[in-house]
Amino acid sequence: MDLDFDRAHIWHPYSSLIDPPPVYPIERADGVRIYLEDGRDLIDGMSSWWSALHGYNVPELNSAMRAQMEKMSHVMFGGLTHRPAIELCKKLVEITPQPLQRVFLADSGSVSVEVAIKMALQYWQSQGRPEKNKLLALRNGYHGDTFGAMATCDPVTGMHHLFASQLTRHFFAPAPRPKFHEPCSDEDIAELRQLIEDNRAQLAAVILEPVVQGTGGMRFYSPQYLKRVRELCDQHDLLLIADEIATGFGRSGKLFACEHAGISPDILTLGKALTGGTMTLAATLCTDKVAEGICRGEAGVFMHGPTFMGNPLACSAANASIDLLLSGPWQQRVAAIEGQLQKELAPLRNSNAVADVRTLGAIGVVEMREPVDMMQVQKALIEHGAWLRPFGKLVYAMPPYVISEQDLGQLTNAMVQVLGNL
């Protein structure tokens, strides 16, 4: 493998081409393991950025994609349709919280957020209220790297401040204070309520990650907070956009994180695990109210249409992935992962370098007091046979649901050994 070419010409995520970080050549991946070309194998604690729920080289997913390739890998979705897309949309309508009924298929999570934002803005335009063109987002929130999505990420602690002058200026409420198992008081919601009351004439929607704030801090917050946000949106005529790109398909212990609060959004975004980590695909769902409101407006149609929308190969993978997930004991697997992460990461609470250890579903987070040297920590974890990608003060694990107790134990042991010695 020509690593010199890679270093000189290929931009990896959030990397420099002047001083490129090390990359590790992979030969193949199978189950929960990544096999490097140098003969080493690593347990993937990241599920390929939270997408490979079933691990790698999954027979059911491979078979579905092979069968679809024999028919067609892609066809335009404008004016045409196909069975894989219809089957997938039926599944999504059935398993997502009611009353989400309409499905728009996109090609990445960030684009699904763009679609959600456009839905909210076009809805209010169609209602004759174009002044409702701002969003209310949460501090420590993260919704993607494209321009509309970047504008809803935390402008202070997020990764996009360099582009601030080019981004739409939205409103931001404080990050939710009550932790997952804590109640949500009037005081906890006071500033968000005030922002809504003061700006409801301009606000189209509230956008948030339900219960789990991901890349913005790996924070778990009270479902009661989410429930109260839903109530405020109803009271003040705002749409609620729930970004479940990271939490959808069981990661938090519920099939969708909104279920922890017993609420449903007006618009829901899905991605990452939708295809089990095999193909890029995303979906934005909305209610009849939103869809019909948009289509009764000036344009008469929703103004969006990606070239690879409804890609049949990706839809086939998604159908197989959802079937595989729902036919297996995913709740028990996620609960077992949560219990093991909680128990085996607990010793790190005694480290002076560790600020917090927290778990929810198949997510285990170690928050350090100071930012870690990502390359140094990652290299040390690799020496223990673990693949994780720290960022900032956070070192976390989100393994495939099929991980064995032994493999998860190796992963947590690597975290304890490496982080406990910092």
Enumerate the active-site residues: 14, 142, 243, 272
Non-local CB neighbours of 337 within 8 Å, separated by 6+ positions: 361, 362, 399, 401, 403, 408
Residue 9 Cα distances to 5, 12, 19, 145, angstroms = 6, 10, 12, 22
> Distances in Å between the alpha carbon of 208 and those of 123, 127, 211, 354, 415?
19, 23, 9, 27, 30
What is d(CA 204, CA 201) in angstroms, rounded to the nearest whole number? 8
Residue 58 CB contacts under 8 Å (≥ 6 apart), including other chains: 276, 278, 324
Task: For residue 217, give the nearest of 368, 353, 387 by alpha carbon.
Answer: 368
Give the residues across from 44 on adjacent strands: 387
Q: CA geometry: angle at 87 spanning 301 and 244, to 5°? A: 70
Tally Cβ neighbours within 10 Å of residue 417.
14
Would you say 411 and 382 are in contact if contact means Cβ atoms under 8 Å apart?
no
Find tokens 């602690």 and name the residue: 157
